[in-house]
Amino acid sequence: MSERIIRKQEIVDDPWQVLRLTSGESAETVPLPAGPVLLPLAVWLARRDEALRRYEQPGVWLDSDEGPEMLADDCRRFAVIGINFPKFTDGRGYSSARLLRERYHYAGEIRAIGDVLQDQLFLMQRCGIDAYAVRADKDIEQALAGLRAFSENYQAAADQPLPLFRRRAKHAA
Amino acid sequence: MYRYDSIDQQIIDERVAQYRDQIARHLAGDLSTDELRPLRLQNGLYIQRHGPMLRIAIPYGMLAATQLRKLAEISQRYDRGVGHFTTRQNMQLNWPQLEQTPAILGELARVEMHAVQTSGNCIRNITTDQFAGVAPDELTDPRPYCELLRQWSTFHPEFAFLPRKFKIAVNAAATDRAVIRAHDIGLELLRDEGGEIGVRIFVGGGLGRTPILGKVIREFLPRRHLLSYLEAILRVYNRYGRRDNMYKARIKILVQALGIDDFRRQVEAEWAHLKDGPTTVPDTEFARIAAHFAPPAWENLPAVDELHAARVAGDLAFANWVRRCVHPHRTPGYAAVTLSLKAPGAAPGDISDTQMLVVADLADRFSFGELRVTHEQNVVLADVRLRDLHEVWQIARRHRLATANIGLLTDIICCPGGDLCALANARSVPIADAVNEKFDDLDYLFDIGDISLNISGCMNSCGHHHVANIGILGVDKNDEEWYQITVGGQQGNAAAIGKVIGPSFHAHEVPLVIEALVTVYVEQRLPSERFIDTLQRVGIEPFKARAYAGRDRRRGARQENREVVNV
Ligand code: HEM
Ligand code: SF4
């Protein structure tokens, strides 16, 4: 099984699955599927050793109320960390992504999952998200344009270590 | 004022293109109504009672004459020839067509204007003192700080989808004219003993249904840390502010729930990581922006202008206007002028296309081509020579811009209310009209003196009624319009939230109640006491008693009062 996602600036086929607990399933007992898979944080926390044995490349996803501090130093172990946007108006994931990149120096892939839409991609990219599982009912080719909304930005963020005022000063010098 | 460089312009142009594409995708069915909503709100577009309403940003209230002319042109071409200035120093157009909004934004971009983040759950337009740069009591010009914040907050990638809207106001004067403690963040510019400029930071203020005044989170923060510290506050809020209940989502609720000390601890812990990082603002950047706000070419003039003094002495109507609408200026021979948008019968804050053109011409002829919008919904010409005041007055008067009522009872802050706003419980403009009719004697208004009366059509409090000496709030009872009255609110350094005097009143009673409250003041005041001083000295009881006296002879006394919001 594979799914089309945007990675960096391209549409690619991607094998990662997202494990979501359905009601009645518990983190302790849910069967771990064959990889590659993004595990819910609760599963990772409950069964870290088992997951490390089972997967060569473990993956995990954070919900919007779960911060990267819950992974802390573990984060370097992951090839992919998913950040879930339960609704596109829930902006907590932007902070999570920046913290992963700028505080925990996580260098692997950060993938937006959930309610991922064209008009948020640019912001996500700025916060350090570099893969986007665009919502299945949307045209992913069209969504790609969202990454190019602006050619310059005022703030420093995960994609640009210097705010415009430091770069403007250089222009003038 | 700040002028765009090519990068600022490019960012705004790209925004117009982005928005145009969003509307096109919406009309093509690719972007649902729910998906479009937050996007259009971040471009100032509401869908209201009669259709769309567009809120155009006027960053910290500064406008160039050319920009106001463009607003006049837009209001003619795309609207009904009238704009409405808001308490957040923006302009609202009430009758644009959805399909035309991209064209409107395109027109605005040609004069360095936009509607970015005038609504939505993001950092909104930054507001400040309308006398910035000319006020005698000012420590430093707050506008460079506002512009710094404007750029930092524009399309901030992390804070575009906050739990709720976020409002920042800046004050740099001895008298706070920006109501900073009624904002999510209030910034007060200060100087420490070493002469360094920094900010005192208030957090967690807000009006709405739970009015709260901001609390100090930092007594003094050197200005270079301003952005990194705000980023820390916003990050804590973005992550931990409530998202389950829209009415509890403002930062004030988070600050209240944690307590200011715990909130501060979290912010400081976050800031420890950000402090001294690249977002630290170098002096060169403050200087670059401040250069845009360099004083205009004021002439060397005597502090007293004989001709002006003679005109004041010889013409009572002019003298009255000077008394209320002309304000001190830090430069000898100059004054700041408030053009009142509160003429009797006019909707407070409304300005017609013709008036816009007149004001633009006045600005060009008499005030270096610039003007400001006040949060009290008036317009200011900041740099008028004393000797020109008479001519300004004569022109303004012909266009109903010279009502001598600034700071008086009829200088009402008033939201659009039920006539236009879909959220309203009651209309507010007719109440302003009725107050105007009741108090149509200028001598009496002068005698009553300084007082504030503000009206909101619902508890969202767009009309700032909580911080008025007399506040009027529309409440809905079985489809009838009722009004709750508060007294004792204040803006400024002694900011306070008003107290509800009791059960609400029917629309027709409101002017009588205002009259009763004013009468108590007139009877009980000591020499030189303002309404608020008397109220504070004698207490709320005599006012309350008079407001309800004989009420059973009027229509519909009401006991129950479900809608009391500020308990
Ligand atoms: C007609 C369209 C308008 C709509 C739909 C609207 C909507 C709202 C809403 C929903 C709130 C409450 C937000 C909250 O408590 O979290 C609010 C508050 C506010 N609005 Fe408006 N508004 C409108 C017009 C205006 C106007 C004309 C002004 C200025 C006169 C204004 C200035 C404000 C202010 C100052 C607040 C209070 C801020 C606070 O709670 O701290 N709005 N508005
Ligand atoms: S106070 Fe209420 S009625 Fe008035 S503009 Fe705001 S939302 Fe509308």
Cβ of B44 below 6 Å from ligand 2: no
Whole-number pLDDT of residue B217? 98
pLDDT at B74 over 50: yes
Cβ of B416 below 6 Å from ligand 1: yes
B-chain CB neighbours of A124 within 8 Å are 157
B78 Cβ partners below 8 Å, 6+ apart?
A: B93, B96, B97, B100, B103, B104
Q: Which stretches of chain B sit within 8 Å of chain A by CB? A: 5, 7, 10-11, 14-15, 18, 21-22, 25, 30-31, 35, 38-39, 121, 151-152, 154-163, 227, 235, 238-239, 243, 273, 277-279, 281-282, 284-285, 288
pLDDT at B419 over 60: yes
Distance CA B347, CA B522 (A): 27
Percentage above 90 pLDDT, chain B: 94
Q: Please tell me the residue having the least CA distance from ligand 1 atom 8.
A: B460
Q: What is the pTM of this model?
A: 0.94
CA-based nearest residue to A113, from A138, A146, A87, A139:
A87
The phi-psi region of residue A114 (left if phi > 0; otherwise alpha if psi is between -120 and 50; otherwise beta) is left
Q: Provide mean pLDDT across the span B179-204.
A: 97
pLDDT at B265 over 90: yes
CA-based nearest residue to B73, from B108, B38, B125, B48:
B108
pLDDT at B235 over 70: yes
Cβ of B93 below 6 Å from ligand 1: no
With CA atoms as reference, the chain B residue closest to A145 would be B18
B300 Cβ partners below 8 Å, 6+ apart?
A: B332, B333
B278 Cβ partners below 8 Å, 6+ apart?
A: A156, A161, A162, A163, A166
Q: Provide mean pLDDT across the span B411-431.
A: 93
Note down the domain range covering A18. Answer: 3-172
Cβ of B343 below 6 Å from ligand 1: no
User: What pLDDT band is residue B562 in, cutting at 50, 70 and 90?
Assistant: very low
Number of domains in chain A: 1
Q: Please report, for residues B447, B456, B458, the alpha-carbon distance to residue B429 in angstroms, rounded to integers and kept in the order given.
A: 25, 9, 13
Full set of structural domains in chain B with CATH? 6-110 (3.90.480.20), 134-290 (3.30.413.10), 306-398 (3.90.480.20), 418-566 (3.30.413.10)
Contact present, B314 and B320 (Cβ < 8 Å)? no
Residues 68-97 of A with CB under 8 A from B: 88-92, 94-95
Q: What is the pLDDT of residues B395-414, one digit of tens each?
A: 999 999 999 999 999 999 99
Whole-number pLDDT of residue B536? 97
pLDDT at B191 over 50: yes
CA-based nearest residue to A102, from A68, A79, A78:
A68
Q: Please report, for residues B20, B43, B118, B512, the alpha-carbon distance to residue B46 in angstroms, rounded to integers and kept in the order given.
A: 16, 9, 10, 35
pLDDT at B555 over 80: no
With CA atoms as reference, the chain A residue closest to B241 would be A92
A103-112, A115-124, B470-479: which range is least confident on average? B470-479
Return the H-helix or E-strand segment holding B139.
Answer: none
Instruction: Kindly indicate whether the ipTM for this predicted assembly is greater than 0.90, answering yes or no.
Output: yes
Cβ of B566 below 6 Å from ligand 2: no
| DSSP symbol at B160 | S
Whole-number pLDDT of residue A39? 97
Whole-number pLDDT of residue A68? 95
Cβ of B420 below 6 Å from ligand 2: no
Q: Provide mean pLDDT across the span B302-307.
A: 96
**SS3 label, residue B45:** strand
User: What pLDDT band is residue A131 in, cutting at 50, 70 and 90?
Assistant: very high
Whole-number pLDDT of residue B552? 60
User: What pLDDT band is residue B557 in, cutting at 50, 70 and 90?
Assistant: very low
Instruction: Check CB contact under 8 Å for B161 and A90.
Output: yes
Question: Each residue of B151-166: b (16+ CB within 10 Å) or e?
Answer: bbbbbbbbbbbbbbbb
Q: What is the pLDDT of residues B147-184, one digit of tens each?
A: 999 999 999 999 999 999 999 999 999 999 999 999 99
Q: Provide mean pLDDT across the span B237-252.
A: 96
* Rg of the Cα atoms in chain B: 23
Whole-number pLDDT of residue A172? 55
Q: What is the pLDDT of residues B360-383, one digit of tens each?
A: 999 999 999 999 999 999 999 999
pLDDT at B325 over 60: yes
User: What pLDDT band is residue A35 in, cutting at 50, 70 and 90?
Assistant: confident
A-chain CB neighbours of B285 within 8 Å are 165, 168-169
Q: Provide mean pLDDT across the span B22-42.
A: 95
Return the H-helix or E-strand segment holding B431.
Answer: helix B429-438
Q: Please tell me the residue having the least CA distance from ligand 2 atom 2.
A: B458
Return the H-helix or E-strand segment holding A90.
Answer: none
Residue with the two structure tokens 């904002």? B183
* Residue A15 in contact with partner chain B when CB distance is under 8 A: no
| Amino acid identity, position B298 | W
pLDDT at B546 over 50: yes
Ligand 2 pocket test: which of B86, B456, B472 has the largest number of ligand atoms within 8 Å of its C-beta?
Answer: B456
The phi-psi region of residue A78 (left if phi > 0; otherwise alpha if psi is between -120 and 50; otherwise beta) is beta
With CA atoms as reference, the chain B residue closest to A66 would be B239
Distance CA B59, CA B128 (A): 9
Chain centroid to CA B364: 24
Return the H-helix or E-strand segment holding B219.
Answer: strand B215-222
Q: Provide mean pLDDT across the span A45-59.
A: 95
pLDDT at B553 over 50: no
pLDDT at A169 over 70: no
